[in-house]
Structure 1
Amino acid sequence: MAEPILFQVDGAIATVTLNRPAARNAINAELNEAMTAAFDRIEADDDIRIAILAASGPAFSAGLDLRAFSEGKAGAILDGPFGFGGLARRMRKKPLIAAVAGPALAGGFELALACDMIVAGPGARFGLPEPQRGLIAGAGGVFRLAARIPQARAAEILLSARAFDRDEAMELGLISLASADDPLPDARALAHRIVANAPLSVTATLALLNAARNRDEAELWRRNDSIFAPVAASADAKEGALAFAEKRPARWRGC
């Protein structure tokens, strides 16, 4: 059986590769546990100064494995100390680059938004379609997207639950670099440029960036969790997952 992640270290650069390509790298309990361990290792290893989050196969990640959600196993994936993917709530000391080659949807987009930079290939697509499944983007997606792009655009994208392509993401300022092909080499080149700088300067600069970005995040997480819990427990959330699995329109009840 294939390992749920691939972990590679090249000098001061670690690469974590999601490795469930047949499931579009949807995050189940096994993959979530492996990601948590990988980011624990990155933060603890003084020789690693920067990391890249990449993915095997045509999709970056489809987000939470809806089979795990429908079986009542989402808690183990969402409620760990570092949140979804062992990453969404993690206060990192080291920069993290997402290398997105294909669709990054739902929790997959939330993982990309949890990174400091996104390098995207021409096939990258982004979106938070949770309202189409009776859910909300409860792993930080709503407030992180709203903090990074103009409010009117955020409202339209979030409430309509539509996906958008790499060009629109670039226009919105969501991605750091657009790659002509595979984004991983460009992400590695960016990582090399960063590690060429003074270690203390990079760490301190990231700390200041995080302070500016996260000054209200603790309160946002509390509000996020209070809103997410009743939605996730609703009949509509169960119906959304079932309709998706059965490939039919959902029959919403508003409860």
Structure 2
Amino acid sequence: MSEQPVLPERRGNVLVVTINRPAARNAINTAAAEAIAAAMARLDEEPTLFASVITGAGGTFCAGMDLKAFLAGERPSVPVRGFAGIVESPPDKPIIAAVEGYALAGGFEIALACDLIVAAENAKFGLPEVKRSLVAGGGGLMRLSERIPYYKAMEWALTGDLVDAARADEAGLINRLVPAGQALEAALELAGRIAANGPLAVRASKQIIMKARDWDSSVAFDEQRRLSEPVRSSEDAREGARAFTEKRAPRWRGR
């Protein structure tokens, strides 16, 4: 494969972002973090991109921070976006993690920064930092208890043990559990179903779900209207209604 640390590839309205450092188990160095951040910016800025899938080359999702690069003085993060160019500021548009093999430490935190997770049966997840007297600082501890039950999150975080795909699925972490080698294909199918919908509505729906937990009940509907009303008055909303009455597929313009 190309020597580029990250391979962005457009497939219709979906941007596939492949971490391409298989010899290092797709561990994140500065170049990889910067390239992922650039891909996330492209996703949000290009109006004809509606969703994204992030995955890893060579049968591994991501082993976290590249320790050799770190010891050489590199930082695996970028301003604003944070570690791997994603964990502190994920894209506004939907992103799916397609996980084969290991998603460990920062790699698991990348997956947790995504909106959906498709995992192969051979996938293994974990935040093993405590085994080295470190703290998972890429958002994993904050997000994990939002994704799975509290006591499961505590067990996974405090033991640092690996969690196989079956256990992760049982805990509710995974949207699709598929045979090994099929995670990307399944993620693309799911992304295609999302991208078939009105992009403005999808984007606003994601933002409402993400932000609603921080809204006080006294302002929640006002905040929701702030995000939903521009969609309601958009050209795409009229196109959606027109396409329904004309019994045809809608032609979204993202405005």
TM-score by shorter chain over 0.5: yes
Q: Equivalent residue of 1:86, what SS?
A: coil
Q: 1:162 offset after TM fit, Å?
A: 0.4
For residue 40 of structure 1, what is the aligned residue in structure 2? Answer: 41
Kindly provide the amino acid, as one letter, of the partner of residue 212 in structure 1: A
Q: Equivalent residue of 1:146, what SS?
A: helix
Kindly provide the amino acid, as one letter, of the partner of residue 52 in structure 1: V
Q: Write the mapping of 1:75-114 to structure 2, written as runs, cut at 5 A.
A: 76-78=75-77, 80-114=79-113
> Aligned partners of 2:101, 2:170: CA distance in 1, in Å?
18
Kindly provide the amino acid, as one letter, of the partner of residue 172 in structure 1: A
* Deviation larger for 116-125 or 148-157: 148-157
Q: 1:99 offset after TM fit, Å?
A: 0.3
Q: How many residues align?
A: 214
CA root-mean-square deviation: 1.6
**CA contact under 8 A between 2:125 and 2:162: conserved in structure 1?**
yes
> CA offsets per residue over residues 42-96 of structure 1, 9 Å max, x none?
11111101000011012110001112333343xx323521101110011522000
For residue 136 of structure 1, what is the aligned residue in structure 2? Answer: 135
Q: 1:133 offset after TM fit, Å?
A: 2.1
> CA offsets per residue over residues 175-215 of structure 1, 9 Å max, x none?
11111232111101101111111222212211111113566
Which structure's CA Rg is the greater one? Answer: 2
Q: Write the mapping of 1:54-73 to structure 2, written as runs, cut at 5 A.
A: 54-73=55-74
* Deviation larger for 50-59 or 76-85: 76-85
**Higher helix content, 1 or 2:** 1
For structure 1, the residue ranges without an aligned partner over 5 or more in a row are 217-255
Q: Write the mapping of 1:1-255 to structure 2, written as runs, cut at 5 A.
A: 2-73=3-74, 76-78=75-77, 80-181=79-180, 182-212=182-212
Runs ≥4 in structure 1, deviation > 3 angstroms? Answer: 213-216
Identity %: 44
> Aligned partners of 2:90, 2:174: CA distance in 1, in Å?
21
> Aligned partners of 1:61, 1:137: CA distance in 2, in Å?
15
Q: Equivalent residue of 1:57, what SS?
A: helix
**CA contact under 8 A between 2:40 and 2:90: conserved in structure 1?**
no
Q: Equivalent residue of 1:98, what SS?
A: strand
Q: Equivalent residue of 2:84, what SS?
A: helix
* Deviation larger for 55-64 or 78-87: 78-87
Kindly provide the amino acid, as one letter, of the partner of residue 86 in structure 2: L
For structure 2, the residue ranges without an aligned partner over 5 or more in a row are 217-255
TM-score by length of 1: 0.80
